[in-house]
Amino acid sequence: MSALSARTARPWPRSVKSRTGPRWSPRLRRRLAADAALLLIAAAFLLPLAWLVLASIDNDATLRVSAPGSPTMDNFSAVWTDEITFTPMLNSLLLCGGATVLTVACAALAAYPLSRFRSRVVRPYLLTVLFTTCLPITAIMVPVYGLFVQVDLIDTMSGTALFLAASQLPFAIWLMKNFMDGVPVILEEAAWTDGASWLQSLTRVILPLMGPGITVVMIYSFIMMWGNFFVPFMLLLSPEQLPASVSIFTFFGNYGQVVYGQLAAFSILYSTPVLLLYILISRRLGGGFALGGAVKG
């Protein structure tokens, strides 16, 4: 009888055995470790943002993150003037906007032959262009400053915008070329059959189809120029021509004295145009290339 019961006895289900104690699988532990690392990274980014928001409404703001005793908008009222905010913001928009348009136009013209014509020198040329982005801007500012003095471009918005566009052009060419590779060549061949030139096929066929790619290049270039401090600080001398990225330096006084509340308020206003630009055109970033049905038949 005992032998028969031993044969017919069934093993405990795995679900029942697992209830006796917690079992952490390696996959679950790796996932928990990754989540903890992401939370630490998020906290590292959220802490400065929390200080920025809290300090902007605190008259007695310091470097410590603390809730204001009596929230006030006096810091925004102090910086909401033509001299501190409006004129530098307008200078930044003119400087970065003009440089961004020039960068996108030159990048499109440079990326077209690199994307459409096959040659042995294309890859070495692209690697050379990419290598120029590794050069520190501080290493070339001294000869650039001397060149601008000789050609009478120092203290001019046009000269500064030209140099900003040139500094962002190498990486913009790489991005534009990768997006342009996604447009089928057959569409250009159809345009050539109808008598279009290469410039007409570029402006009327390729560029309209790679709208998201142009948007990415434009946003990247604008953001990098918007936060550039060193180039306008070196090439612009007149106070009335300084952009907001340089005028923010005026909040740092002598002997280590800093008006932290006004600095935080100005920083929020300074970051607003970039956020609005991204929100307005964020819908086009996820749309992809509009090639549906373009190559049928």
Mean pLDDT (the chain, rounded):
82
The answer on 54 and 91 residing in a single domain is no
Alpha-carbon distance values, 162 to 90, 157, 214, 225 (Å): 18, 9, 19, 11
Whether pLDDT at 286 is above 80: no
- pLDDT tier for residue 295 given thresholds of 50, 70 and 90: very low
10 lies in a domain?
Answer: no
On whether both 120 and 62 belong to a single domain, the answer is no
pLDDT at 292: 42
Average pLDDT over residues 202-218: 85
94 lies in the same domain as 239: yes
Task: Please tell me which of 109-113, 128-132, 257-261 the model is most confident about, judged by mean pLDDT.
Answer: 109-113
Is 92 in the same domain as 61? no
Query: Is the pTM higher than 0.85?
Result: no
Task: Determine the structural domain holding residue 49 and report its residue range.
Answer: 29-71
Residues 199 and 122 both lie in one domain = yes
What pLDDT score was predicted for residue 222? 92
Give yes or no: residues 194 and 255 share one domain. Answer: yes
Q: What CATH number should be reported for the domain holding residue 125?
A: 1.10.3720.10
pLDDT tens, 258-279? 888 888 999 999 988 888 887 8
Between 21 and 161, where is the model more confident?
Answer: 161
Q: Is the pLDDT of residue 73 over 80?
A: yes
Quick one: pLDDT at residue 253?
Answer: 66
> Do 53 and 155 have their domain in common?
no
> Does residue 1 form part of some domain?
no
Residue 21 in any domain: the answer is no
Amino acid 285: pLDDT: 59
* Lowest pLDDT segment from 40-44, 125-129, 273-277: 125-129
Whether residue 100 is found in the same domain as residue 195: yes
148 and 53 assigned to the same domain: no
Mean pLDDT for the stretch of residues 119-142: 81
Residue 96 banded pLDDT, cuts 50, 70, 90: very high
- Of the two residues 16 and 273, the one the predictor is more confident about is 273
pLDDT exceeds cutoff 60 at 196:
yes
In the chain, how many domains are there? 2
Tokens standing for residue 158:
């046009």
pLDDT band with cut points at 50, 70 and 90 for residue 17:
very low
Please report whether residue 121 resides in a domain.
Answer: yes
Residues 46-51 have a mean pLDDT of: 88
The answer to whether residue 7 is domain-embedded is no
Domain end marker among 20, 50, 71 = 71
Q: What is the pLDDT of residue 189?
A: 79
pLDDT given for residue 288 in this prediction: 46
**Domain match, 203 and 242 both:** yes
Q: Examine the domain organization and report whether 213 and 282 are in the same domain.
A: yes
Same-domain pairing of 112 and 250: yes
Q: Pick 284 or 30 by higher pLDDT.
A: 30
Residue 115 has pLDDT above 80, yes or no: yes
pLDDT confidence band for 256 (50 / 70 / 90): low
